[in-house]
Each structure stands twice: as structure tokens, then as C-alpha cells.
Amino acid sequence: MAKKWIASATANAHGQFRAKAKAAGMSTKAYAEKMKDSGGRTGKQASLALTLMGMKHGAKKKPINASKVYPK
């Protein structure tokens, strides 16, 4: 389910936000932090960029060791 909203949110991006960051002479993360509160499309792109940067890519959940959670 998560992949579907990410795919639809980034369907027409084509690196536009990264190009804006490069034109400003900043890294993508620094530019996103700077622009996250601005309005319009750039503000939305910055918010989405920060959200996606915060996700763990390809991380798998570890099984819970029940003996540590529920000691006897």
C-alpha cells in the first residue's frame, strides 16, 4: 500500500526538486529544510522530500525476541 501512494506522489517529479536544489547551490536535504514552510508547489515538494528521506529504504522488520520482551 505504501508503494502506491509514493508512486502516485512522485509520478510527475522527474527530478524537478533536485534540479531546484542544485540551481540554488545546496544539497537536496538542505534545500528541503529551507523550503519546507514555503507555500505552493515547492513547499509541497520539500515536505514530500523530507518525508521520503526519513523512510528506511529496503529495511526489513526484525522478528521480536520474545525472551527479551517477556522474561520469565
pLDDT confidence band for 63 (50 / 70 / 90): confident
User: What is the DSSP code (8-state) at residue 42?
Assistant: H
**What is the CB neighbour count within 10 angstroms for residue 29?**
13
All residues at 6 or more sequence positions from 47 whose CB lies less than 8 Å from its CB, including other chains: 32, 36
For residue 2, the model assigns a pLDDT of 62
CA 22 to chain centre: 18
Take residue 41 and report the three cell numbers written for it.
508547489
Take residue 8 and report the three cell numbers written for it.
502516485
Q: What is the pLDDT of residues 25-53, one digit of tens each?
A: 999 999 999 999 998 999 999 999 999 88
For residue 13, the model assigns a pLDDT of 80
For residue 12, the model assigns a pLDDT of 82
All residues at 6 or more sequence positions from 25 whose CB lies less than 8 Å from its CB, including other chains: none
Whether the full predicted model's pTM is greater than 0.85, yes or no, is: no
